[in-house]
Amino acid sequence: MLTIKLYHGRKSPDEQLDDWGSDGPLLAIGGFLVTYLSTYRVKLADEDWHFLKFVGDLLYYDGILYGDFTISDSDPEAIGQIVPWFDAVKGQTT
């Protein structure tokens, strides 16, 4: 199963972190699409593509900004941690 894992979370772009910040969710995805290194989308299995939202160089998801993310096959031990769908509303800034 292909997943995206979010790391180094913070609540605002200028927040000073004493450590690495918070770990984010592990999201199941069906694909990852990049257009001209400026637009990034994830696909749910058998569903639509959803745009990833960035604030500066931080990825926004569910009220938290993340400095790092990985895309990989999920470790079988992590399967229980996977959020099985990407909630498009959580990926939108207001």
**pLDDT score of 3:** 87
Asked if residue 69 is part of any domain, the answer here is: yes
Average pLDDT, 10 consecutive residues per value, the chain (94 residues): 90 87 88 92 80 91 92 75 69 64
Q: How far apart are CA 44 and CA 55, in angstroms?
A: 23
- Please indicate, yes or no, if residue 92 is contained in any of the structural domains: no
pLDDT at position 83, please? 73
Is 89 within a domain? Answer: no
Q: Total structural domains in the chain? A: 1
* Enclosing domain of residue 20: 2-78
- Any domain includes 83: no
Q: Does 87 reside within a domain?
A: no
What is the pLDDT at residue 45?
65
Residue 32: the pLDDT is 92
Task: Tell me whether residue 40 is in a domain.
Answer: yes
For residue 20, being part of any structural domain is answered with: yes
In the prediction, which pLDDT does 69 show?
A: 93
